[in-house]
Amino acid sequence: MKILVVEDEERVAHFIQKGLKEEGHAVDVSHDGEDGGFLAEVNDYDLILLDVMLPKKNGISVCREIRDRGITTPVLMLTARDSVEDRVRGLDAGADDYLVKPFAFEELLARVRALLRRQADSKTPTLQMANLELDPITRMVTRGGKPIRLTTKEYALLEYLLRNPHKVLSRTLIGEHVWDMNFDPESNVIDVYISHLRNKIDKGHDIPLLHTMRGQGYILSDHNLPL
């Protein structure tokens, strides 16, 4: 999943980014409200972690503005203030949840999982193509009923492909969503992970699902594709 963290305290932002990346998420970070609001508008995120006290524009205003623009991405607000009034302001602005600093990272992860699960459930509980299935809740992947063990990044890559079936996804799109906006498009890391993933989901099956479209990118499809 791709997550935006808008937090002006660099130490806290780095701490959150590092932990979320270890969980397999692609994480972009912004340190002020104006830039954070801009990134939320121009990029497709699965979740936004938004601090309330930000330079240039506070988190309440950012949340309200992105909702006014029709952006429905779940928002988890972070704040050092624990008054009922502050929580009400954030929720009324369109936030989905509220977490008070300082917090245990385990609680942050639990809230992140809950919001992502709610978002996934609103789309489809299980992602499937042919006999390949991925359950976003349990994070189990099977093909033909047999479990497939994936690394954290392989899972994130497969989930992104399954959420965009029969679409050619460029290396740039994959890099930005599965890694982050600072991904180096000249790197061959995507090709390496595609090769590993193809070996795990297609090897031993009559119908290949993961295809390379030369000069364009990659596509997950069970349709007959032009050579």
The predicted-structure confidence for 163-215, as pLDDT tens digits, reads as follows 889 999 988 888 888 887 777 777 888 899 999 999 999 998 988 999 999 88
Q: Of 100, 122, 144, at which residue does a domain stop?
A: 122
Question: Is the same domain home to 105 and 53?
Answer: yes
Strands 97-100 and 127-129 turn out to be unpaired
Length of the chain: 227
Angle among Cα 178, 157, 184 to the nearest 5 degrees reads 40
Residue 176 DSSP label? I
Distance of alpha carbon 153 from alpha carbon 195, whole angstroms: 13
Angle among Cα 60, 62, 68 to the nearest 5 degrees reads 105
pLDDT at 111: 92
Say whether the peptide bond before residue 102 is cis (omega within 30 degrees of 0): yes
Query: Residue 55 sits in a domain of what CATH number?
Result: 3.40.50.2300
Q: Give the domain extent around 193.
A: 127-220
Question: Is the same domain home to 14 and 107?
Answer: yes
Question: Is the same domain home to 39 and 116?
Answer: yes
Cβ atoms of residues 63 and 94 within 8 Å: yes
The predicted-structure confidence for 47-65, as pLDDT tens digits, reads as follows 999 999 999 999 999 999 9
Number of Cβ within a 10 Å radius of residue 102: 6
The predicted-structure confidence for 69-111, as pLDDT tens digits, reads as follows 999 999 999 988 777 777 788 888 899 999 998 889 999 999 9
Cβ atoms of residues 94 and 75 within 8 Å: yes
Question: Is the same domain home to 206 and 140?
Answer: yes
